[in-house]
């Protein structure tokens, strides 16, 4: 053990006080001189080379011994080189019996030099050990980060491909541990194999770690989407609901916005709650920037009183509700016909016929009867769909054309007396009456009053061909007044007594109510605000007949609180600019082209550019939500029904937004995971 001398007096400030920085050896051009033995004498910096232990104090103009100052043993006699004043007799500095050489031979100095040498060895050894430890630690951290990065890359791949990560049994002896490819990679990567075969439980392969990795990756995707939405300023929310295989309601949330010259509809999450909390959680200013909301029309989503649309509109005044345009007109017809009991029963019976005819035994007979009765190829009855009205039209058309064959099949099965099948056929036969055929004829033709007589005539002909009873219509008879009963009545006046026939009853009970309800549904679903929005969008389309028509554009502008006076001036100037550009061959073909055209001048045409972005951001359809349901079915399939909602939403983002997921920087992911993950068992930083 080294016992360094305790400093009993302060050394000059120009000398170093620590032992690890070495002697103080300033190389000066000129050192201070003093007159000694009638000559000017001064310190010589060449002495630093000959006596490496020497050091010089500029404040005292004296020489000292670094080794003796720091490493002298206790009780070592003091010399001029260890005294507070130092050595300054430059005349005798190089004498053999005095000065530097004499001090170098002293016993105290020799011991101090030995101690200093040992100290330097220890310092070098400690430094080497520290360097070695630091290098080993850095290497270990790099290996751990590469390991986590590889796990994340595998999980990202499985999420984008919609395949399960984990198997049913994941014990060591399991022959099928799922599609988590880390073991396959370990066979070809010694580093991964080393980490997986290491002792302890820090393998980072558990479902909990997987969930944390999925959360980090999906949050990075969401942040890129949110950043684009914030830069675009205005956006719309599109949502739709469906049930997963666990019968849990899942809400698909999509954001629509204009960014970088293109329209984007980006999936954000699957959620159970249908509130605004998700928008607030992601830092979106929906109260000012949400300009539209599009849903599927379900009561929970678009109800006037309790629906989400009404609640959002109460907080975000610009968030106009736009029904999915792919379904809007279709649902006008669906809701109208369902409100008429006779028509509702008609379509229920139509679906029952489809289900019955589609049975294996009945279907064989159905094909056989058609081949016997018709020369052309057999036809199939169509299944009904609320969201595909064309399917209902084809269902009515095929049944009308093959009604005689349907009746024959039902009659043949009825007379077979084959139990439940025959009973069901008999029940269907009874319900195919004149009203059913009339309704069938109506929904095959255009619903217009002028064609009602033709429809009724076709109904009678079809009923006659199919031997369906037609009730005789009593002629209208005149009824005389009771007060004239005792008189000779040559002619009568007053009320007419009439028994309504099937034709009049059908016209009043079915045909007219359908037309009335169609009109009501059209007015409800295509409100004044919605019509103003659609006409305003058309006025921003360069190919539209009313392109930049001031009155129409201003109606749209008033809905979103634009500065009308500024907008009028901008419209005038924009028309002039477009005319000049047209002379140069620049042609705009869509509202997207028009918006991109205005973007370089957005500070000049601020109001018009904002309107264009709003028009683009407004919802069109819920098709992307429907596509997300397809991904939902692939992710949460029959083998993965126990998946929790957070994992489902995170994997859903990586699957649906796979373009963004594929471009993620996994080094940035490791940094994020390092800060978010708690209780780390391996060093990542």
pLDDT of residue 659: 94
Q: Over the Cα atoms of the chain, what is R_g? A: 46
- Any domain includes 431: yes
Q: Does 336 lie in the same domain as 233?
A: no
Tens digit of each residue's pLDDT (9 = 90 or more) over 525-534: 666 777 888 8
Q: Does 311 lie in the same domain as 184?
A: yes
**Chain centre to alpha carbon of residue 434:** 53
Residue at a domain's end among 446, 468, 490: 468
- Any domain includes 666: yes
Q: Does 388 lie in the same domain as 262?
A: no
- Any domain includes 480: no
Q: Does 176 lie in the same domain as 220?
A: yes
Residue at a domain's end among 89, 105, 121: 105
- Any domain includes 88: yes
- Any domain includes 499: no
Q: Does 597 lie in the same domain as 459?
A: no
Count the domains in the chain: 4
Q: Does 310 lie in the same domain as 209?
A: yes
CA distance from start to end of the chain? 36
pLDDT of residue 276: 55
Q: Does 463 lie in the same domain as 336?
A: yes
pLDDT of residue 393: 72
Structure tokens at 368: 């056989």
**CA gap 400, 416 in Å, rounded:** 25
**CA gap 584, 20 in Å, rounded:** 78
Q: Does 303 lie in the same domain as 163?
A: yes
pLDDT of residue 496: 45
Angle, CA of 93, 97 and 101, to the nearest 5°:
55
Of 227, 226, 311, 216, nearest to 273 (Cα)? 311
> CB under 8 Å to 202, separation ≥6 — which residues?
681, 682
- Any domain includes 148: yes
Q: Does 556 lie in the same domain as 431?
A: no
Cα maximum dimension of the chain: 178
**CA gap 59, 436 in Å, rounded:** 119
Q: Is 611 helix (H, G, I), strand (E, B) or coil?
A: helix
- Any domain includes 10: yes
- Any domain includes 125: no
Q: Does 437 lie in the same domain as 351?
A: yes
Tens digit of each residue's pLDDT (9 = 90 or more) over 633-679: 999 988 888 888 899 999 999 999 999 999 999 999 998 998 887 66
pLDDT of residue 131: 67
**CA gap 559, 224 in Å, rounded:** 30
- Output the 3-class SS for 574-599: HHHHHHHHHHCCCCCCCHHHHHHHHH
List, for the chain, all residue ranges whose pLDDT scores fall below the cut of 50: 1-9, 299, 304-306, 446-450, 473-477, 484, 487-489, 494-499
Q: Does 453 lie in the same domain as 351?
A: yes
To the nearest 10 degrees (0 to 180), the angle between helices 207-232 and 107-160 is 80
Q: Does 443 lie in the same domain as 569?
A: no
pLDDT of residue 305: 41
**CA gap 171, 298 in Å, rounded:** 46
Full domain range(s) for residue 557: 528-617
Residue at a domain's end among 428, 450, 468: 468
């Amino acid at each position: 053990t080294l016992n360094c001398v305790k400093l009993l007096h302060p050394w000059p400030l120009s000398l170093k006080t620590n032992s690890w920085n070495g002697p103080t050896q300033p190389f000066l051009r000129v050192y201070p001189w003093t007159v000694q033995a009638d000559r000017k004498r001064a310190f010589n910096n060449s002495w630093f080379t000959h006596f490496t232990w020497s050091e010089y104090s500029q404040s005292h103009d004296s020489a000292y011994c670094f080794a003796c100052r720091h490493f002298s043993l206790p009780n070592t006699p003091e010399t001029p080189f260890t005294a507070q004043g130092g050595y300054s007799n430059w005349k005798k500095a190089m004498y053999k019996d005095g000065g530097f050489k004499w001090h170098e031979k002293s016993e105290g100095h020799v011991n101090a030099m030995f101690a200093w040498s040992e100290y330097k060895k220890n310092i070098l050894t400690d430094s080497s050990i520290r360097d070695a430890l630091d290098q080993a630690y850095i290497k270990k951290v790099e290996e751990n980060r590469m390991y986590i990065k590889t796990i994340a890359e595998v999980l990202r791949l499985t999420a984008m491909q919609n395949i399960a990560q984990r198997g049913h049994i994941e014990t060591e002896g399991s022959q099928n541990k799922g599609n988590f490819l880390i073991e396959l990679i370990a066979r070809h990567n010694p580093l991964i194999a080393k980490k997986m075969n290491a002792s302890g439980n820090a393998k980072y392969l558990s479902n909990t770690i997987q969930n944390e990795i999925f959360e980090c990756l999906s949050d990075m995707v969401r942040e890129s989407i949110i950043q684009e939405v914030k830069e675009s300023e205005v956006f719309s929310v599109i949502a739709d609901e469906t049930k997963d295989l666990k019968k849990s309601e899942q809400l698909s949330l999509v954001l629509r916005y204009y960014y970088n010259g293109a329209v984007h509809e980006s999936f954000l999450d699957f959620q159970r709650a249908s509130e605004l909390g998700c928008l607030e959680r992601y830092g979106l200013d929906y109260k000012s920037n949400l300009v539209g909301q599009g849903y599927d029309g379900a009561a929970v989503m678009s109800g006037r009183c309790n629906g989400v649309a009404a609640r959002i509109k109460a907080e975000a005044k610009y968030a106009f509700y736009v029904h999915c345009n792919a379904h809007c007109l279709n649902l006008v017809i669906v809701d109208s016909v369902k409100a008429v009991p006779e028509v509702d029963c008609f379509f229920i019976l139509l679906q029952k016929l489809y289900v019955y005819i589609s049975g294996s035994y009945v279907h064989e007979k159905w094909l056989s009867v058609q081949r016997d009765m018709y020369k052309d190829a057999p036809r199939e009855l169509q299944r009904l769909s609320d969201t595909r009205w064309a399917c209902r039209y084809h269902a009515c058309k095929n049944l009308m054309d093959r009604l005689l064959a349907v009746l024959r099949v039902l009659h043949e099965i009825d007379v077979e007396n084959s139990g439940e099948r025959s009973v069901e056929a008999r029940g269907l036969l009874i319900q195919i009456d004149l009203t059913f055929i009339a309704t069938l004829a109506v929904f095959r033709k255009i619903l217009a009053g002028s064609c009602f007589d033709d429809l009724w005539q076709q109904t009678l002909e079809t009923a006659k061909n199919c031997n369906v009873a037609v009730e005789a219509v009593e002629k209208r008879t005149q009824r005389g007044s009771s007060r004239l009963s005792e008189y000779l009545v040559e002619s009568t006046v007053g009320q007419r007594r009439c028994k309504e026939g099937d034709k009049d009853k059908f016209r009043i009970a079915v045909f007219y109510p359908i037309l009335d309800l169609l009109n009501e549904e059209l007015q409800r679903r295509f409100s004044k605000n919605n019509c103003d929005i659609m006409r305003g969008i058309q006025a921003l389309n360069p190919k539209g007949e009313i392109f930049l028509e001031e009155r129409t554009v201003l109606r749209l502008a008033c809905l979103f609180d634009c500065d009308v006076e500024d907008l009028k001036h901008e419209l005038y100037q924009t028309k002039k600019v477009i005319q000049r550009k047209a002379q140069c061959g620049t042609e705009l073909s869509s509202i997207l082209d028009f918006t991109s055209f205005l973007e370089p001048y957005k500070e000049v045409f601020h109001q018009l550019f904002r309107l264009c972005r709003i028009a683009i951001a407004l919802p069109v359809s819920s098709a992307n939500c429907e596509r997300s349901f397809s991904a939902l079915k692939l992710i949460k399939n029959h083998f993965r029904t126990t998946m929790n909602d957070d994992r489902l939403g995170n994997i859903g983002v990586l699957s649906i937004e796979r373009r963004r997921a594929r471009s993620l920087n996994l080094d940035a992911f490791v940094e994020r995971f390092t800060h978010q993950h708690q209780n780390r068992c391996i060093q990542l930083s």
